[in-house]
């Protein structure tokens, strides 16, 4: 009887060890998924009136650690061009699309914080409007976590 009891205790100990290792692995996996920056971008109304609406591009970090070296990249250049209004000139493009410039980097964005920049306008007169109404175009956001993970 003693040998069977010892074997049973060994099997129970091995199963407990396997369960513990799996639980630890899941804990590390979910901790790494949760303990990271989450950077998004959205267009918000800055101000509006009966002639036009001015917009801001808002970039928040809703994750649990700071994000660094954040870059906004236009994913579809043709989509961006299609979203631009009739009244676009090169100076306005330079000013309001500077956030997509290769050299523009948000060096650090604390968790729970946000930054913003002016992002064009729509106007009742299409010749004065930077964006077409209801315009949409895709962008990609690249950033690193506090510990260098992309």
**Based on the domain organization, do 3 and 55 belong to the same domain?**
no
**Based on the domain organization, do 18 and 65 belong to the same domain?**
no
Of the ranges 1-5, 49-53, 65-69, which one carries the lowest mean pLDDT score? Answer: 1-5
Query: CA 30 to CA 35: how far, in whole Å?
Result: 8
**pLDDT tens profile 57-84:** 999 999 999 999 999 999 999 999 999 9
Any domain includes 60:
yes
**Based on the domain organization, do 11 and 77 belong to the same domain?**
no
Whether the CB-CB separation of 45 and 54 falls below 8 Å is answered with yes
**Based on the domain organization, do 13 and 54 belong to the same domain?**
no
Total-model pTM: 0.78
State the Cα angle at 19 between 15 and 25, rounded to 5°.
Answer: 145
Which residue bears the tokens 């010749």? 127
**94: containing domain:** 42-145
Any domain includes 87:
yes
**pLDDT tens profile 97-132:** 999 999 999 999 999 999 999 999 999 998 999 999
Any domain includes 150:
no
pLDDT for position 1 = 60
CA separation, residue 84 to residues 17, 47, 71, 129 (Å)? 61, 19, 21, 8
């Amino acid at each position: 009887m003693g040998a069977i009891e010892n074997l049973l205790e060994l099997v129970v100990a091995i199963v407990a060890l396997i369960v513990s290792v799996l639980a630890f692995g899941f804990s590390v996996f979910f901790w790494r998924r949760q303990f990271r920056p989450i950077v998004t971008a959205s267009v918000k109304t800055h101000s509006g009136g009966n002639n036009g609406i001015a917009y801001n591009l808002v970039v928040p970090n809703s994750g649990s650690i700071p994000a660094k070296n954040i870059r906004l990249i236009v994913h579809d250049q043709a989509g961006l061009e299609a979203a631009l209004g009739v009244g676009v000139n090169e100076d306005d493009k330079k000013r309001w699309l500077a956030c997509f410039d290769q050299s523009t980097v948000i060096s650090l964005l604390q968790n729970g914080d946000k930054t913003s920049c002016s992002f064009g306008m729509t106007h009742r007169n299409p010749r004065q409007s930077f964006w077409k109404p209801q315009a949409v175009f895709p962008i990609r956001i690249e950033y690193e976590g506090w510990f260098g993970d992309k």
